[in-house]
Amino acid sequence: MKKKNLLSVVLILVCLLSFDLALVGCKKDDGKKDDPKNVLSRNDLAEWENETEEAELYETYRLSVFSAYDKNGKAYRVTPDVKQSDGEAVRVMNNEFVVDYAGGYKITYSLTDESYSAPEKVVTLKVKNSDEPYVYFEKTRVVYYDDEPCALPAYVCHIDPEVGVSAESLKLEKISGGKRVGIKNIASEMTLSAGNYELAASVTAKNGKTGECVLPFRVRSSNERNAVAAFNDANTTNLYASFWDNSIYAFNAIKATFASDVMRNATVSQGSYCIEVPQTATVATCKVIPEIGEKEFVEAMSKSGAVYSLWLSIEADDGLSRSISVGTKTVDLKNGKWTNVTLTAEEAGYDDIKSFYKALVLTKFGMTVYNSNVSPFKLYFDSAYVSEPIEADFADVSCNLGQSVDLRATNAQNAEFYYELYDGTAENPDSQISESGTLTPRVAGTLRAIAHPVSNRYYSGNLWATVTVKAGNNAFKFANEEYSFAFGKHDRPTALLNASSCENATYRIESTTSENCFTSLNDDKISVYAGEYILYAETALDGTVYSAYAKIIGGNAPSTSGDIENFDDPSSLKNVDVPQSFTYIGDYKGATGVVKFDGARTYEWPGFALKSSLTEVEKLKQNYTADDYVAIRFCVENAPSNFFFFMNVVGAGAYADENYVVDFIGSSAVTITDSEWHVYYIKAKIFFDNIDAFFNASAGENDKVTFRWTNNSLNDAEIYIDWIKMVKASEKV
Amino acid sequence: MKKFITIILTLVSLATIFVACGKPDNSDNSSGTDNSDEVKEILLYDFEDYDKSFQLMRVCGYFGAVNVNKDAKYVKSGKRSALLQPLGPESLGNAQGVTEGNPETCLYIPLSSQKYGFDYTDGNKLAEVRFSIYNAENKNLNLYVSLIMEKKAQRLSPCETFALKPGWNEVFYTPDHSVIAINDDLSQCYGIALNFDNVHSRYLKDAPKLYLDDLSITLVDKPFQTENLVVLKDREVCDFESDWQKYVLMSKVDDRSNAPDMEIIKASDYGLVAPSGSRVLRVTMKPTNLIVGTVYNGFGFTQALIDAVGFGKYGDDDYFAFDVYNASDMPMDFPTVFWNTKENGYKGLNILVNPGDWATARISLGMLDELFGKGERTYRDNPSNIVIQWAEFTGEERVAFFDNFRIEKGATK
């Protein structure tokens, strides 16, 4: 029995050991697919069918299957595997990848737990439009110069490899004046002459579909290496402008746009950049961001006589000039005329060239444009360069009027020049320009010509020549070089051709200053107002255009009937400090010669100050006493409620009789409630007592008399002014 | 005696069976990683114990509300779950420079507790986060899961998105260690962050209802080996053609609500020609209600990218350059600020860009270093974040595109 028991024990142990081994074996093979513990069919799992999806090329595709669920809601973690259709593995980052293979993808989801046997879920990801070549250049912001090989960018084509490509082509053309010239033997690196080009890559798929990309670019002249900003193409943005906006009391940025058809000269420029300064801007700040590197800038500016050179021009509806502060310089920009601003580092306000460059880069160096006229205008920028003076010989020439001259400048470097002949006045924007140097003077006399280097890296300096033009038998000129006229209407001087009158001659008159030209022409009459003017005449004979000019000097308007300002003609507006805010409208509501104030409605206290004519008060004093009055006649249309009209004496010192000084809204202000003419009287004593303070040579800028009224921004009030004059106390109404 | 021997044998056998079979089968929850033979699943939050579950969790940055739920319908196991009513964050992104103490909006689920004696903050060993979540709305909801990489939740790892269908969802979040390691030290992973879409309301009545239960983590013994994803072409800083580049972007804002939306897109989808390749960065800048006058928001690159660029190897004549397209209707100024690791920042350039045109910005590295001064504080010796800024503005959102951040040779400008 003992033996039997022992056997039983051994048998039990053997059985148990076998069972254990089986279990251990079972544990070891737990994950083997060929001996799965659990088998799940596709039907056992929810939403486990294979799918096909579509994605755009370069879309970021996000894996969306993280778990599988069986019918009982039990969740199983899944493992994704992503391969391109050509079998290449895809690195999935954070469950995402970028679709950049046109052949598509195979995304395989399997249960992570290998103890389960389950079919895989396969998502076939197709790329939309992958049967059509998608072609692009690897680089599109290219900068090339004509003195070094241009590394043309390669192109990339995406297309489903299953579709395949049947043809590829690359085309390079130079575009000049609307003409296209094909360039053969295109290499990845090739030297190209300066100009505009177009590179086009085209791919045709075997299914006939095509894809193309085009890259327009410009090869710059090596001379442009000196460009701070050439402003020659829209490819670069170097200009930034902002303005102080009166209406919102803040700085606003101004858009700068490339103007391909506005340039100072087609020989040296291919366009310019323009900013439009709005009416609400009194001050605009402009900054030119340099393209040139620091090393190149410092090297170029270190040359003898080298300057930072920038060309500016304005286009203003009011025809008036604007002032611009650049570094330590203030420059007057005349309407329609290109002005060259040049600066050394010192003139820019910096100790050395490097500091100047740094300020340009960090946009700490700006130009301030003043729009004191409060009228919109366009400001053009062109050819910002580091320029150095060019040395050349430029010989004087002579000819007879009607003949041409050949202007020729030469220098050792064989630099190219173009030529400008001033055959009007030196200020005349109608100078003649020629690339060849062959020009026909339009007037007789001793004229001046200048040779301009074609390259902006040089400036002409004093490269002037004298052009002597003999009158011969074809003289076209005025009898006098200068005419002085009293204020008023006169016969217009006539230019004679060959000492005879010329019926087809045309005339125009311009102010010699930036102010409005009030003197005007009417047939053979000239209405002369105070100031200096140039009278131009032009005519043509045998295909040659001749021009002549003469200076017109106009006398001051006479003071009559105690007038301080009668506003009887447009030139009256020269006597106010904000002429742009007025319109001369002539007769109005029975009054002769009236001006209308219609500007600056947003000012808190709109108004104006008189300028020169108040100096006449000294003369008026001879006929008036302190008990007489200064009076202003005005009317207001559409007056707002509580509309006050008053006179304000601005200035330092206790010079005013406080009974008559209306400082802002005071007791003497008149409230206007109708649209009738009103006369507002002020004792003359205030003027007579303070003439010295107001009107002598040392009177301060702010020592003046202003006429002001309530802010009329709430409606469209219109203020009309007839006159300001002295009135005898006995005549006061 | 016979009975005794039989009992002993039976016990030995059962013990042997138990040892042979090992622990209960949890293999359907295993991470599947090859990194270790040893995987350990830990049920971290079952939401049955208020103190251990709810008291540890934090609601950060106007996340919304978290409450105890006892309605069995929304309980996966046990008797309780967590009711989430998220309002959503102002933005989901990698914001830096945000005012101190202003965390990312999220439900902060800590991976450590001194009180309860656990510490699973070594993200190198975190294979998986698993939890059950019930979407009580009748539409899909997006869930964003990430790891908390800064103790006060001021920085989260890139999130993974899960579309939650109505009803119960089982979420398996497997962090991409290599992606997280681009910017962060995985050994300091403070918690799990849950986020949802912004409902554009600050009232709980507008928030969706979700129920969270049985959050477990799977750990491995052997740390994950990460791969270096930040691989640059010659002279490349960031041209937005590679998948990883979205992870080296960061916003730099005073207020997270001003953080720009950043998206790498195919340029031609927006009618643009990419300066380089086909993809560009699209930045949507947010307006403010009030102009303070001193606030500049921006975006930039993380230290990981700056380190990979290796600014020290470039010379005085080289340029940091990039292309920018201003798609707003007015000129914009993009001051570019360089920070060194000594926390000195200098504006390298104002990038003044007119609307509707690509512009190229170039900054001389030599000149940049002069701003920092000579010596050990220079940028190239201690390069850190580069931030493209813009001044605050009101009105509509503005959009700009950026591309091809690079180092250019001086000779070619």
Alpha-carbon gap, residue A240 to A254, rounded angstroms: 7
Confidence of residue A110 (pLDDT cuts 50, 70, 90): very high
Confidence of residue A598 (pLDDT cuts 50, 70, 90): low
* pLDDT score for B34: 46
- Contact at 8 Å (CB) between A716 and A638? yes
Is pLDDT above 90 for B110? yes
Q: How far, in whole angstroms, is CA A472 from its chain's centroid?
A: 48
Structure tokens at A21: 């081994």
- In this complex, is the C-beta atom of B37 within 8 Å of any C-beta atom belonging to chain A? no
The number of beta carbons lying within 10 Å of the beta carbon of residue B249 is 22
Chain B residues near residue A239 by CB distance under 8 angstroms? 352, 354
Is pLDDT above 70 for A249? no
Name the residue in chain B with its Cα closest to that of A141. B275
Residue given tokens 């009232």 in the structure block: B203
* pLDDT score for B26: 37
- In this complex, is the C-beta atom of B166 within 8 Å of any C-beta atom belonging to chain A? no
ipTM over 0.95: no
Q: What is the DSSP letter of B383?
A: E
The larger pLDDT score, comparing residue A240 to residue B110, is at: B110
Chain B residues near residue A141 by CB distance under 8 angstroms? 275-276, 323, 358, 360, 404
Residue given tokens 């209802």 in the structure block: B209
* pLDDT score for A160: 96
* pLDDT score for A640: 66
The larger pLDDT score, comparing residue A460 to residue B191, is at: B191
Alpha-carbon gap, residue B308 to B231, rounded angstroms: 7
Q: How far, in whole angstroms, is CA A404 from its chain's centroid?
A: 39
The 10 Å CB-count burial string (b at 16+, else e) for A487-518 is beeeebbebbbeeeebeebebebbbeebebbb
Sequence-ordered alpha helix ranges (H) in B233-320: 303-309
**Are residues B28 and A116, on separate chains, in Cβ contact within 8 Å?**
yes
**Are residues B410 and A295, on separate chains, in Cβ contact within 8 Å?**
yes
The larger pLDDT score, comparing residue A238 to residue B163, is at: B163
Alpha-carbon gap, residue B274 to B239, rounded angstroms: 10
Is pLDDT above 80 for A716? no
Helix axes A353-361, B365-372, angle to 10 degrees: 100
Alpha-carbon gap, residue B107 to B92, rounded angstroms: 13
* pLDDT score for B22: 36
Q: Which of A380-384, A508-512, A665-669, B57-61 holds the top average pLDDT?
A: A380-384
pLDDT mean over A106-118? 91
Alpha-carbon gap, residue A553 to A486, rounded angstroms: 8
pLDDT tens-digit readout, A182-213: 999 999 999 999 889 999 999 999 999 999 99
H/E segment holding residue A12: helix A2-28
Tell me, what amino acid is at B98? V
Is pLDDT above 80 for A539? yes
Least confident stretch, A110-119, A581-590, B279-288: A581-590
Q: What is the DSSP letter of A516?
A: -
Is pLDDT above 50 for B29? no
Is pLDDT above 80 for A74? yes
Kind of pairing between the strands at A445-453 and A464-470: antiparallel
Name the residue in chain A with its Cα closest to that of B173. A66
- Contact at 8 Å (CB) between A104 and A124? yes
Alpha-carbon gap, residue B178 to B160, rounded angstroms: 14
The 10 Å CB-count burial string (b at 16+, else e) for B365-377 is bbbbbbbbeeeee
Is pLDDT above 80 for A577? no
Rounded to 5 degrees, what are φ and ψ at A83? -135, 145
Residue to substitute from A237, A357, A365, interface B, most B β-carbons within 10 A: A237
Alpha-carbon gap, residue B269 to B250, rounded angstroms: 24
Alpha-carbon gap, residue B261 to B248, rounded angstroms: 14
C-alpha closest to that of A260 among A169, A380, A368: A380
- Taking each continuous run of H as one helix and of E as one strand, the counts in chain A are 6, 60
CA distance A353 to chain B (A): 13
